[in-house]
């Protein structure tokens, strides 16, 4: 059986993951409205990944006899000044998620909750990839003119995300 403290902390993380999904869905809508369907597709894939993360935590609680307690999801932003600004938000957001996962792992260590530690190790590894991907796109956007053909080329490349599978 999972402890009450761990259950509450995982429920909080579920909410954060669902907020992440909602944020990326909002960004997808922003990019699609700005005629950047590749950026929009990248965000849709990200949205799906975040929902998957929430469900992984959800399943963990259920499997361990815990109770999932869903809370209201905060409304995300809907406008950004540029693609670069939006991806800087992604980069900052992913760093915040990493900090949250790390804090959850610390709680699992303190509680000697070994099943949660194993689960959270996956999330720790995932966050390395998430932060790396966001940082790479920010750096690429910083290298190109925000109105030039470079953005369209990057849009095309980002639109291929998920096609490799």
Domain boundaries along the sequence of the chain: 4-158
Residue 28 has pLDDT above 90, yes or no: yes
CA atoms within 13 A of residue 2's CA, in its CB half-sphere: 25
pTM of the model: 0.89
- What would the pLDDT profile of 140-155 be if each residue is shown by its tens digit? 888 886 556 676 677 7
The reported pLDDT for the residue numbered 145 is 63
State the average pLDDT over residues 58-63. Answer: 98
DSSP assignment of 3-52 equals: -HHHHHHHHHHHHHHHHHHHHHHHHHHHHHHTT-HHHHHHHHHHHHHHHH
Query: What's the Cα-to-Cα distance from 41 to each of 32, 84, 95, rounded to whole Å?
Result: 9, 16, 22
Residue 156 has pLDDT above 80, yes or no: no
Among candidate residues 108, 99, 85, 164, the one with its CA nearest the CA of residue 130: 99
Instruction: Specify the higher pLDDT residue, 160 or 28.
Output: 28
The reported pLDDT for the residue numbered 147 is 58
The reported pLDDT for the residue numbered 149 is 67
The reported pLDDT for the residue numbered 148 is 62
Q: Between helices 114-143 and 149-158, what is the axis angle to 10°?
A: 150
Question: Domain 4-158 is classified in which CATH homologous superfamily?
Answer: Ferritin, core subunit, four-helix bundle (1.20.1260.10)
């Amino acid at each position: 059986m999972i402890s009450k403290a761990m259950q509450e902390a995982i429920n909080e993380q579920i909410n954060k993951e669902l907020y992440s999904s909602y944020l990326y869905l909002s960004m997808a809508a922003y990019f699609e409205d700005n005629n950047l369907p590749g950026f929009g597709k990248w965000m849709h894939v990200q949205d799906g990944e975040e929902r998957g993360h929430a469900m992984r935590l959800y399943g963990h609680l259920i499997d361990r006899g815990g109770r999932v307690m869903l809370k209201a999801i905060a409304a995300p932003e809907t406008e950004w000044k540029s693609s670069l600004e939006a991806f800087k938000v992604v980069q900052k957001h992913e760093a915040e998620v990493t900090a949250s996962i790390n804090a959850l792992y610390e709680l699992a260590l303190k509680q000697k909750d070994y099943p949660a530690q194993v689960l959270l190790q996956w999330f720790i590894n995932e966050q390395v990839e998430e932060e790396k991907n966001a940082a790479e796109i920010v750096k690429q956007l910083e290298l190109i003119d925000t109105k030039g053909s470079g953005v369209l080329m990057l849009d095309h490349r980002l639109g291929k995300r998920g096609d490799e599978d």
